[in-house]
């Protein structure tokens, strides 16, 4: 009886050792397989991200009142010139601090000079910006319908290219009694609301967003928060209140209701 018990015990130990050996040999193999699969998955993810960021118009998650089809049409119709990153980097002296004009909610703004001598202003989306891809796309669609020189989207870089306006913004001269009478920015607002082929509600129209060219003509900027109205629409609602609170109407700030009167309210402020 004791001999049989010893035999079974020995067999059990040998069996357990065999199982343990198989587990020890298998673990590194399983680990290597998992590592290889993880690497392949990460590589695919990176390629997907690179492909998406290479062309902003391939993003399928973008949904707004115009839709993705309208963005594609904007580009196909030639309304939106495209600049490569090398051209913009060369124009701005590799985004030199000396070329920096200022900072906005979107990111830093740089002055640049293209090879043909044309002066441009470049808004470069910052990683720390409070605004993101949605606002970037919104501004591209709206400005392409109004006036813009083009855009640049390469890798993580997203930039809007504008005409350079040397006389800064309206807030630099609006309090000068001798100059303010020469400027009529209400006409520009009227153009957005009535005369443009699109009815645009800016939603953040303030003196620092009204720029001046070399002939002191006024040009409204920063359309990332703007909304397009179609047909006879004159008002709308939003769940996301955006803009500068000091310039907002109480109705918009509290309930998200906006209309053409909203920009007028900002003008009066």
Total residues belonging to the chain: 269
Nearest to 202 by CA among 186, 183, 182: 186
Instruction: Report the alpha-carbon distance of residue 227 to residue 66 in Å, rounded.
Output: 10
| Non-local CB neighbours of 168 within 8 Å, separated by 6+ positions | 211, 212
How far, CA to CA in Å, does 200 sit from each of 124, 171, 192, 258?
A: 23, 22, 5, 12
Q: How far apart are CA 63 and CA 98, in angstroms?
A: 38
CA distance 220 to 196: 13
Give the three-class secondary structure for 72: helix
The verdict on whether 204 is a catalytic residue reads yes
Cβ of 68: how many Cβ atoms within 10 Å?
16
The active-site residue out of 79, 84, 176, 204 is: 204
Beta strand segments in 114-229, E = 119-124, 150-154, 157-163, 199-201, 210-212, 218-220, 227-229
Residue 55: partners with Cβ closer than 8 Å, 6 or more residues away: 153
Which three-class secondary structure state does DSSP give residue 266?
helix
- Please state, in angstroms and rounded to a whole number, the distance separating the CA atoms of residues 122 and 15: 73
Catalytic amino acids? 204
């Amino acid at each position: 009886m004791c001999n049989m018990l010893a035999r079974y015990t020995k067999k059990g130990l040998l069996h357990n050792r065999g199982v343990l050996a198989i587990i020890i040999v298998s673990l590194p193999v399983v680990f290597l397989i998992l590592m290889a699969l993880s690497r392949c998955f990460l590589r695919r993810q990176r390629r997907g991200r690179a492909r998406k960021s290479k062309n902003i118009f391939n993003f399928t998650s973008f949904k707004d009142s115009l839709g993705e089809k309208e963005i594609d049409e904007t580009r196909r119709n030639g309304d939106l010139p495209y600049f490569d990153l090398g051209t913009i980097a060369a124009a701005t002296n590799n985004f030199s601090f000396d070329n920096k004009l200022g900072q906005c909610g979107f990111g830093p703004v740089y002055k640049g000079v293209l090879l043909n001598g044309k002066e441009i202003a470049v808004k470069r989306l910052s990683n720390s910006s409070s605004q993101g891809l949605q606002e970037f796309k919104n501004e591209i669609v709206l400005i392409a319908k109004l006036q813009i020189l083009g855009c640049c989207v390469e890798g993580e870089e997203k930039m809007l290219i504008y005409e350079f306006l040397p006389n800064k913004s309206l807030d630099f001269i609006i309090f000068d009694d001798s100059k303010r009478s020469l400027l009529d920015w209400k006409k520009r607002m009227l153009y957005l609301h009535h005369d443009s082929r699109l009815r645009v509600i800016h939603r953040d129209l303030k003196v620092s967003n009204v720029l001046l060219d070399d002939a002191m003509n006024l040009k409204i900027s920063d359309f990332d928060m703007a909304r397009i109205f179609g047909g006879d629409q004159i008002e709308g609602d939003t769940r996301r209140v955006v803009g500068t609170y000091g310039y907002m109407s109480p109705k918009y700030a509290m309930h998200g209701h906006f209309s053409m009167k909203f920009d007028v309210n900002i003008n009066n402020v």
